[in-house]
Structure 1
Amino acid sequence: MNLTERDRQHLWHPYTQHKTAALPIAIKKGEGALLWDENDKEYIDAIASWWVNPYGHSNKFIADAIYKQLTTLEHVLFGGFTHEPAIVLGERLIEILPDNQQKIFFSDNGSTAVEVAIKVALQFFFNKGEKRTTIIAFENAFHGDTFAAMAASGISFYTQAFEGMFIDVVRIPVPVKGKEQESYEALKTQINNNNCAGFIFEPLVQGAAGMVMYEPETLDQLIKICQENNVLTIADEVMTGFGKTGKNFAMDYLKENPDMMCLSKALTGGTIPMAITTFTSAIFDAFYDEDINKALFHGHTFTANPTGCAAALASLELLTTSEMQANLVRVNASHLAFQNKIKQHPKVETTRVLGTIFALEIKTDGVASYYGSMRNKLYDFFIENGVILRPVGNIVYILPPYIISNIQLQKIYQVVEDALEIV
């Protein structure tokens, strides 16, 4: 019995209807931008395995850092204790985060990073004797699958089974070109009509919505509106963080700073689950009190896991090298060249590029279902041709490891171009 058949016996996969889905592909090895399945078929990982492997699979530099840490201290509880890897990681992150971010809270993954931020936003006002119960989010947002994160997400088929069970969330339009003023006015209206504690957003790029992009100037304006009305702002950089937009963080394109930031995915280079939520000193101070009930009673068993911290430190070191920064420029230039070539294709509706992110929207007669026939046909075509891409409805996006070769990029582009002929 091969790995795929053995998997079928007991394993339940994410975002999968097992009755209709094809069997999963069993991967046995990875190196750089490549993966190999149990039959030795080679694949280019064109989405960095859900955006977590910017430095490539089996990265020796990160692996060595993990091994060294494992032989010193693999884990210790973080309640009442601390350790050097967490302290150093905090110091290194503060150096590159927006300058108002001063406090760091560890958790396990992107969803929990968001969960922490939303709880803090609500309790911040509670601690000050003010009850605010509403969170503002963008339409078609995606912030994760735990309950508060899911409540803030706007992709309905992910959440419809849980309607009526969520915290209060109101939505505003994404300020894409032509909808900026509508978004500003909607934000003002929601603030005026609700007890709003915070506004959470994916800065500049909505990942799960199909790499929907908007401008830094419009987000600056939305943040200003929140600041004028004492509404906390939460930048969910789980996807965009650590170089994907061409800068360390998407917020680096802005003039305004958020009150909180959520980080995960590429934080540890795709090796060990870890997440971080960062805060201003003013937020921390609202919890700093002789009254124990004002503390943030939230934690995870593996909070600030030393091995994960070592992986994150190695990843940050790689990100800041001149070679990796040059890779960001190279991948972006390659995407722009492909965009220039493909944007006039008769089957292409729009294209967009930011940093290492490329997205292409295919023309359709109506609304393409998120997991509909077009998406499935495209996905199967990509897999058959040795490229891992996961279209979002009629949107094909590329977000490769930064270390991907030019030859591998050209193969991805060619397979995407070939796929246009089958739809």
Structure 2
Amino acid sequence: MSNTPLTPGIVSGRLVPEAYAHNFDDLEPVLDGHEAHVAADRCYFCHDAPCITACPTSIDIPLFIRQIATGTPEAAAKTIWDQNILGGMCARVCPTEELCEEACVREAAEGKPVEIGRLQRFATDRVMDKGVHPFTRAPATGKRVAVVGAGPAGLACAHRLAMHGHDVVVMDRRAKPGGLNEYGIASYKAPHGFAQREVEWLLQIGGITVQTGVELGRDVTLDALRADYDAVFLGIGLGGVNALRAAGEDLSNVRDAVDFIEELRQQPDKSKLGIGRDVVVIGGGMTAVDAAVQSRLLGAQNVTIVYRRGQEKMSASAHEQTHAQQVGVRIICNAAPVEVIGAGGAVSAVEFAYTEDGPEGLKLLADIFTLKADQVFKAIGQTLVAPDGLSGAKLDATPLARVWTGGDCAMGGEDLTVTAVAEGRDAAEAIHANLMGAVG
């Protein structure tokens, strides 16, 4: 639990018990068989399939939808997992409206795409609910690979390596594997312990050992891993959080949004979480939206997202922005914090200046305003905390023998589960080719 002090404005149990159960249940329940068949029938099964190009993991979307349409969801799930072993989670959290569904011909022609994400969930859930794992390991190669980070990139890498017959040890500093999927997404997007259930299902491939509570640079060094293993994959994510750089940000009840979301994810009884009456979230990405929406779902009366640039530049998808507004979150753009104001050592308000985004960058204007706040969440981006004294540039750009990187810790990380999966999968193929080339 958080050590954030409960002030008169921050209380737990704002809602009746039934409201918590409703608010943090599945945002979009899985399709039933009839609904899936109707949705699949809308696909044109395009020959050039722009949806495949738009998918970071290049799933053969027309094929898996055709397999659903012909009554073989098990085959559809295998088609999905061939490219994206975390297809179940991606079906829940992937911004399909900006990727495959945006590229859908139906979207261009009718303004309503094929529901690719929901169909993907239908197929993968159907097979996972049966406890079936459709992959088997190749004969053992005798090679050992260390995977540091049990997030989407690390898990995807580990599974593909295990499938090729290598023995894999996955290490993670946290108490549970899963990374972003377990700790960093809104609770209502993957409720009922789905993240851990997917990890357990993935590990059925065999050949993967998971070690939790192991931190690179504290419990093990990169040099030691390179000496002890035939290859190393680093998928350590982004461990640091950017500073607000505004006076007063060290006041009580000013928190990093990622910590708030993690606490939410790990607390089964949401009624025990304290939330303010007036909540301000600073930032414009998915973390900001997730923190703001969940603040409302916990019972906050006034929740405002403030972003320093125009709304069209928010990295949170338009779909997520709309969802936030639908649950009562206000979005203010072109404003930046200049001071966090306190009373009795805790935040009471935040002063903002309007901004102008011109050719020379962002400029603070003289026009200011103040928002009442008894709780502030900072969602202004995360930074890489590189292990063993390596800089972020070195970690990504300097070739280290038998070391690969992927996910958000690699330069160009996009903070998307689906992109991390693609990078982990591709790294595994590169590692496999390298190891087997060394054998031959």
The alignment's TM-score, normalised by the length of structure 2, stands at 0.26
Q: Which has the higher contact order (CA 8 A, sep 6+)?
A: 1
- Higher CA-based Rg: 2
**TM-score, normalised relative to structure 1:** 0.27
